[in-house]
Amino acid sequence: MPESVTFPEIDGERLRALMDGISAFGDTGDGGVHRPAGTTEHGEARDWLRQRFAEHGMRVAIDGIGNLFGILEWAGPDAPLILTGSHLDSQPNGGRFDGAYGVMASLEAITALKAHFAATGEKPRCNFAIVDWMNEEGARYQPSLLGSSVFAGLLDLDYALSRKDGAGKSVREELARTGYLGSDAPPKPATYVEMHVECGGVLEKTGKQIAPFERYWGALKVRIGMTGKQTHTGPTPMEDRHDALLGAAYVITGIRDLGPRAADTLYTSVGRIEVVPNSPNIVPGEAVLFAELRSPEMSVLEWAEAELAKVLDDAAARAGVAVKIQNIDRRPAGRFSESLCRLAEQSAESLGLSRMRIDTIGGHDGIPMLQVCPSVVVAVPSIGGICHNPIEFTPHEDLVNGTQVLVRMLWQLDRAGGDPGRL
């Protein structure tokens, strides 16, 4: 970037007012918000966002799964569209930054861009849109990333609308009730940029200020059932036992041993176990484990899946039980747009901000968006790496830094006609 360039500038106090405004919806009084997808609080927050869109002269569109868009068609109907945003839904009693920050940063960045174009006389080359994705969290409705996955063609619309919460209320019902069961055609983005607070703690630990996500981790989530023979612990000779819990223990320790043997990072876990009859003096006849394998590299996940099969065979043989594995979820690992990662780094550097690339293990709407266009998620620090908790906190300065990075990225993308490959 040449030194003589005049960059658009955001206004920190305006951003602060936006964060305060959105945080009033579902305010839990302890710094957090309770705004699960489709609730009245979520609907009211979205109504507030629509008012902001209207103030900016943005056209509102609500698609079939309730994604909410504010569209600024200032470069003509055929111009490429640059999409930015995040999500306003929260975890139950969640934090005020997770998701909401990305939407507020987008609002502020668009405001700054408008001011910049007005002040400099530059003409925008692209249209812009801000998105509030429906049900990113997956707390009330599973799966998570519901709205962006439907948008990206990864999830069937009718299936998504038919998802029910614990009380039996469907996505369709709750969208209709809150006024967000739409039928508008969504915009077709040329590229997507999302700001988000980091939920890992790497930025805080390393003292860095800005981090584009370079890789997103894949995950294999499985259910492992062990069938032995239910007998009394007293008289049954050891050689006649078929202990499903013992088999489960061999699986748990075997899975733990995979990580150190993997060629790249591999996280493993067994978080849930169910045992039948689970009585102190009965050899367990049945055990079920829920295990997860996570890695940033598909090759490692594929290796781990093959090794897991060996672990299960070994455990079955040692405990004398039968083993059955069932896949629950398979999320591929992958990479965000390299051009957009570099753009985030350059934007941070031009602002004198320290930066690094990091991975994301959790899901973000930017991941399904990779099916549609070049995308990236850029993180700012979150104290202690804490998310999904009312004590989640990011200092205002970091929110400002991130929004400055965002507006520079959006402006550069506009200059490149919405094509990060041309940067």
Q: Which residues bind a copy of itself (CB under 8 A)?
A: 199-201, 217, 219, 221, 233-238, 241, 243, 245-246, 248-250, 252-253, 256, 259, 267-273, 275, 278-284, 290, 292, 294, 328, 361-362, 385
With a CB cutoff of 8 Å and minimum separation 6, the contacts of 245 are: 226, 275, 284, 287
| Beta carbon nearer to a copy of itself, 6 or 253 | 253
Report, in Å, the least distance between residue 115 CB and a copy of itself. Answer: 37
Report, in Å, the least distance between residue 225 CB and a copy of itself. Answer: 14
Q: Which residues of 157-179 are buried (b: 16+ CB within 10 A; e: fewer)?
A: eeebbebebeeebbbbbbbeebe
Q: How far is CA 88 from CA 46, 103, 140, 340, in A?
A: 7, 7, 14, 24
Report, in Å, the least distance between residue 200 CB and a copy of itself. Answer: 5
Residue whose token pair is 């812009």: 128
| Beta carbon nearer to a copy of itself, 106 or 144 | 144
CA atoms of 108 and 222, how far apart (whole Å): 42
Residue 414 contacts residue 30 (beta carbons within 8 Å): no
Report, in Å, the least distance between residue 229 CB and a copy of itself. Answer: 13
Residue ranges of E strands in 162-210: 191-197
Report, in Å, the least distance between residue 44 CB and a copy of itself. Answer: 29
Report, in Å, the least distance between residue 374 CB and a copy of itself. Answer: 25
| Beta carbon nearer to a copy of itself, 162 or 279 | 279
| Beta carbon nearer to a copy of itself, 111 or 268 | 268
Report, in Å, the least distance between residue 28 CB and a copy of itself. Answer: 20
| Beta carbon nearer to a copy of itself, 181 or 255 | 255
| Beta carbon nearer to a copy of itself, 117 or 267 | 267
Residue 160 contacts residue 149 (beta carbons within 8 Å): yes
Q: Give the residue ranges of DSSP H helices in 153-297.
A: 157-161, 171-178, 202-206, 244-256, 258-261
Q: Which of 289, 376, 285 is nearest to 328 (CA)?
A: 289
Report, in Å, the least distance between residue 283 CB and a copy of itself. Answer: 6
Residue ranges of E strands in 181-238: 191-197, 211-216, 218-227, 231-232
| Beta carbon nearer to a copy of itself, 120 or 278 | 278
| Beta carbon nearer to a copy of itself, 90 or 127 | 90
Residue whose token pair is 């590229």: 191
| Beta carbon nearer to a copy of itself, 202 or 370 | 202
- Residue 76 region, left (φ>0) first, then alpha (ψ -120 to 50), else beta? left
* Chain CA centroid to CA 212, Å: 14
With a CB cutoff of 8 Å and minimum separation 6, the contacts of 286 are: 225, 226, 227, 228, 230, 244, 274, 275, 276
| Beta carbon nearer to a copy of itself, 21 or 201 | 201
The vertex-289 CA angle with 165 and 309, nearest 5°, equals: 120
Token pair in block for residue 243: 């202990």
Report, in Å, the least distance between residue 282 CB and a copy of itself. Answer: 5
| Beta carbon nearer to a copy of itself, 251 or 406 | 251
Report, in Å, the least distance between residue 177 CB and a copy of itself. Answer: 29
Token pair in block for residue 132: 């509030």
Query: Which secondary structure element, helix H or strand E, spans residue 288, and what is its range?
Result: strand 286-295
Report, in Å, the least distance between residue 202 CB and a copy of itself. Answer: 9
Residue 180 contacts residue 66 (beta carbons within 8 Å): yes
